[in-house]
Chain A
Amino acid sequence: MSQHQPVNLQFDDSHDGLFSSGEEMELNFGPQHPATHGVLRLKLRVNGERIIDAYPIIGYLHRGTEKLFELHPFFQNVPHTDRMDYVAAATNNLAYVGAVEKLVGLVVPPRARYMRTILCELQRISSHLLWLATHAIDIGAMTPFFYMFRERELILDLFEQYCGARLTLNCMRPGGMPHDLPVGWTDKCRELVEMFPAKFDEYEGLLTNNRIWKLRTVGIGVLPPEVAIDYGVTGPMLRGSGIAWDLRKAMPYEAYGEVEFDVPVGKNCDTYDRYLVRMEEMRQANRIIAQCLDKLPAGPIMAKRPRVMKAAKDAEVYYGIESPKGEIGFYIVGDGTPNPYRCHVRAPSFINLQSLPELVKGTLMADLVAIIGTTDIVLGEVDR
């Protein structure tokens, strides 16, 4: 370089997406955008504020988790699951260890089953709190965000007391639980359970009958039940469309067969109904925790298991549970070694996200934000 060349900062205007096709404009929504809950990118075609078409582009948080599973023995893979749906680590743990238990043939002792149920339901509440906080702030209600984070902190404190971590819990092992509950943990948990119903009422007081909240959510993002089934949507999204499909009821696992709870369903299949379903799910989760605390049996927390777990050659297994987002399932194939030969994750966020273009067609920009909120996606799980 003999001479310094001035950098030409002129852009080529001929490929400007703005006004490229008459009335329509192409708009890039994300991956850096306050309302995309991570790194979701949507390519939108808009006419003014009206959305004509949406095309989700994913992969910005792809970390090759499924490949990583193949590189480690079964019992070392639990931490990878934490990092998929990072706001609901306990249910991810459970889905994975459940699949391994089914593959290897381990019987989990009752105390461990109850502990798992308690942790999963606490996780469901904390995940739904985070969903509601972000959903509300997307729609413009700023204050609920802080109230929900306040209560979520208390749940995270409980997790921290149990396993030392607040988000990436790594709190289950194939065959049982890593540690017993610390002294005084159940009392603290019971305090929380008694406190929660009043807090849920407080949130509902802020939003449920709020006229603006209803204007923004009622009739927005309608997902008819047959469309939901076609897309394979699960979890509160499906139940909001009026289908009472909950794996905790349909195929009970852990302690869910031994506790009473209801499965709330929506009627109008819209954003508001999904909001109501999730609110009711938090109350039901609270009910489940209370019952589990009452029934919590004494005894061992770990099954007798081989030092090195190996799956039989060509053994394959699918095990799905109800995570806060929907059905999370692990499909594992063994090849006779301590490592899985292949591990595929049925991630609820990934599958629920597919219904997004269907939901947003013909809506306004402001509705898009409400609809992204109501699908409750976590990009760590979508991209894996």
Chain B
Amino acid sequence: MGSLLDSLHQTLGDTLFTFAFSPLVKIAVLLFGGILPLITYLVLAERKILGYMQARLGPNRVGPWGILQPIADVMKLLVKEDTLPTRAVKWAFILAPCLVVGSALVIFAVIPIGPKAGELGPLNWFITDVNTGLLFVVAFATIGVYGLIIGGWASNNKFSLMGGLRSAAQMISYEVPQGLALVGPLMLAGTMSLVGIVNAQKNMEWWFVFPQIISFFIYFVAGVAESNRNPFDLPEAESELVAGFHTEYSGMRFALFFLGEYANMIVISAVATTVFLGGWLAPFPHWLPFLSVIPGPIWFFLKISIFLFSYIWFRGTFPRYRFDQLMDLGWKWMIPLALFNLVLTAAIKLYFLPH
């Protein structure tokens, strides 16, 4: 393996190898070996867990324990007719799902699932380490919401339009507290690079969830709202808007919206893990040092599973907020709380922490 890499390195030359070959391979491996299977099996896990919460079995026909259900679902969606409403705005209608799924997948580029090269294996456990990583995440998460708005508008359906408008309202109420919630850990870490943030937590020996507990909750609640999941699933509220912004979508375009939603769930979970739960770090390095035997990426996976389970748990438990109540929650509670947390963090950093 190593010699193969070396010979490739020599053939391609330094620049091509570092900036084209290596990232492309990593992207392909991460996308097709990591994220897409994770998304499809997240859907299965959700259906199973919801099933057990609701006194039923969930999918159990396709393969043992329904294990092949995601493959069957994907096959079905791939071969289904992809209808285009006659009066839809064609280019926007096609663009919208790509925007949602694309922006969600791009974020994985900066998320470190493990440490730098040398600490665990010969390669970096992330595609790239941007020095403005956190800003990159927030920016692309926002672009995803445009997909919903454009999709709702382009469908030329009143229910879709209302779904799109709701998601616009939701975006302006939740982007702000979400961004503010990330500033707290940012101040503690002193860097925007996600790898840097995890390393800061390693050096500090405190995961940021403890000093930044308010930020943590605000970020996750805003994240649930941003990924349009229950109890904030207003843009696609089935009982109110039929299917909201994706009422007119079918086949693979619908599947892309669906994929985007679950990819967003994973993104929110992964960012929350990285920023607040110490990313790939093992818990309690001093008290339980043997836990460090388990490699970082597995810890990372376990940590995002906690968030993903909460997502599913919320869906099984809560009724849906109303549009104005959700904005109340965002503007009257979360933004003031996030600002308060910001001031508190700044004061503590200024007066108590060593510079």
* Contact surface of A with B, Cβ cutoff 8 Å: 9-11, 18, 25, 27, 33-35, 48-49, 136-143, 145-147, 150, 206-207, 210, 212-213, 215-216, 364-369
Contact = CB atoms under 8 A, between A and B. Distances in A.
B162 A49 contact: yes
B91 interface: no
5 contacts: A137-B239, A139-B239, A145-B54, A365-B323, A366-B237
Interface stretch (B67-75, B106-114, B132-140, B314-322): B314-322
Contacts of A35: 239-240
Given A49-B166, A364-B324, A366-B237, 9 more contacts: A10-B86, A18-B158, A27-B158, A150-B55, A207-B319, A212-B321, A213-B319, A216-B320, A216-B322
Contact of A369 (B56, B161, B239): B239
A364 B325 CA distance: 11
B261 interface: no
Contacts of A137: 239
Interface residues of B, number: 33
B47 to A, nearest CB: 12
B230 interface: yes
Contact of A34 (B50, B55, B239, B319): B239
Give the 10 A-B residue pairs with the shortest CB-CB distance, closest first. Answer: A140-B320, A146-B54, A141-B319, A35-B239, A138-B239, A140-B319, A366-B322, A139-B319, A212-B319, A143-B316
Contact of B230 (A140, A216, A366): A140
A49 B319 contact: no
Contacts, number: 88
A34 B317 contact: no
Contacts of B233: 140
A49 B323 contact: yes
Interface of B: 50, 53-56, 86-87, 158, 161-162, 165-166, 230-231, 233-234, 237-242, 315-325
Nearest to A214: B319
Contacts of B241: 365
Nearest to A10: B86
Contact of B162 (A146, A150, A365, A368): A365
Contacts of B319: 136, 139-141, 207, 210, 212-213, 216
Given A34-B238, A216-B319, A143 B53 contact: yes
Q: Is the interface of B mostly helix, strand, loop or mixed?
A: helix
A32 to B, nearest CB: 9
B320 to A, nearest CB: 3
Contact of B240 (A143, A206, A365): A365
Contacts of A48: 165
Given A140-B318, A215-B321, A216-B322, A146 B55 contact: yes
Contacts of A138: 239
Contacts of A368: 240
A282 to B, nearest CB: 19
A239 to B, nearest CB: 24
A197 B53 CA distance: 21
Contact of A212 (B86, B87, B320): B320
A287 to B, nearest CB: 26
B239 A367 contact: no
A319 to B, nearest CB: 37
Contacts of A33: 242
Nearest to B169: A49
A224 to B, nearest CB: 22
A25 B55 CA distance: 42
Given A27-B158, A143-B54, A364-B322, A212 B231 contact: yes
A122 B352 CA distance: 67
A206 B318 CA distance: 9
